[in-house]
Structure 1
């Protein structure tokens, strides 16, 4: 999956995403587990919004993403914000070149772009290799409830003078998966016409018990699971956070 031109529109479309909640979540975990001055790797960093926020708090952080276009935007933003963040183009299942890190994060449902248990396990194993002993692994995923009940067979709309989006969701062929068809209409510069282009994405999640089993198989101990940033995980939780440590 490549974001292509979507990368350059991503921040505009995601301007209401609560990145401050991810920031507070990370800070709360570091405080609770007494992690001081950690070295962090953010996998699936996208256009770099969260790494930039963390860098501004004087954390040592790097970013990894599969999309070259996303990383180009991230590097430009980091330069504009005057923070030093190394960004690398890598597949999370083939992560290499990192070791003895204090913390690795995979946020904003990036892990849901993996479509099989084997892919998830391979990623967990690569994360394990890159962490120091007792290093902490933080990630979030869509819940089964969100995949089946919130996305379901729904269509969402964003209508703006410069950019409009028709986002259609359909149940995927695999269990607990969703297919996203995105059609964009972007106003052409100095013209009254709009350019149309499309993106197609598939996301899949797994039951909590599957993630726990794969983490254990990869050599992690699950410390906590949290729902929707700061709640108890319940049947209607939409986003599930995992806190795990390297055994």
Structure 2
């Protein structure tokens, strides 16, 4: 996965993303608890949109991402808001040395970038090690329907004055997987022409039961599954599946 060009364009492409809904969903799962002094590890933090919102709510946050380019954008964005949260360049499958937290999140379908069963399970184990006892783990993934009907075989395009792109999605190598081929045309104002950039992104999802089984094997309990930013249970028509799980208390 290459974010070199994508990182700089990500916020433009995601300008309509419902970041506030992720915050509202987190608040709902915390029973409307205030975020003040709440320790939160945001895994797959990307360009820091959720980090900024959580910090503005008073949370003590740490961000992790696999992309140095994304982390660079996040650092600048947070500093512009007067925050300097610790940011770490690590894979979610092998988190280490970060301490423990009351809450760990992997939002914005970041978990879908893991291609194998082993990677997902290792991530759950990795998160478990970084949660305090009785801590909460929250993440969301694309549904099977979203991958197979919402992405595969679809083409999306945007034609702006300074940025245009064509986004085509193909069936991936694994079951319930998709490959996103993105072609960007970015205006170079100094020379008056458009530069062409290519990106390939792969995503995969799994049935709800598979995720819940892995969570239990990794040591989580009280697993709750919702859909589409609501407290409703998933249906065959759901597009985004949310999971909340609690780290078991020893004893």
CA drift of 1:35 comes to: 8.0
Change in CA separation of 1:216 and 1:32 when aligned onto 2, cut-off 3 Å: farther
State the distance in 2 between where 1:173 and 1:113 align: 13
Match of 2:214 in 1: 214
Match of 2:6 in 1: 6
Change in CA separation of 1:36 and 1:6 when aligned onto 2, cut-off 3 Å: closer
Whether 1:77 aligns to 2:77 is yes
Deviations 1:116-147 (Å, cap 9, x if unpaired)? Answer: 11110000001001101111000000000100
State the distance in 2 between where 1:32 and 1:184 align: 41
Match of 2:154 in 1: 154
Higher mean C-alpha deviation, range 132-141 or range 28-37: 28-37
Equivalent residues, number:
247
Secondary structure class of the residue paired with 2:203 = strand
**Once superposed, what is the RMSD of the aligned Cα atoms?**
1.4
Match of 1:56 in 2: 56
CA drift of 1:36 comes to: 6.9
Deviations 1:205-233 (Å, cap 9, x if unpaired)? Answer: 00001000100110011431110001331
Task: Please give the residue correspondences for 1:135-154 in structure 2 after superposition, counting only pairs within 5 Å.
Answer: 135-154=135-154
Deviations 1:50-77 (Å, cap 9, x if unpaired)? Answer: 0110000110011000000000000000
Contact preservation (8 Å) 1:55, 1:84? no
TM-score w.r.t. length of structure 2? 0.95
Gaps of 5+ in 2: none
Task: Please give the residue correspondences for 1:95-110 in structure 2 after superposition, counting only pairs within 5 Å.
Answer: 95-110=95-110
State the distance in 1 between where 2:90 and 2:73 align: 16
CA drift of 1:28 comes to: 1.6
State the distance in 1 between where 2:151 and 2:220 align: 30
Gaps of 5+ in 1: none
State the distance in 2 between where 1:15 and 1:187 align: 19
State the distance in 2 between where 1:66 and 1:113 align: 11
CA drift of 1:33 comes to: 7.4
State the distance in 1 between where 2:179 and 2:53 align: 30
TM-score w.r.t. length of structure 1? 0.96
Match of 1:245 in 2: 246
State the distance in 2 between where 1:224 and 1:158 align: 37
CA drift of 1:5 comes to: 1.6
Change in CA separation of 1:157 and 1:217 when aligned onto 2, cut-off 3 Å: same
CA drift of 1:34 comes to: 8.6
Contact preservation (8 Å) 1:212, 1:222? no
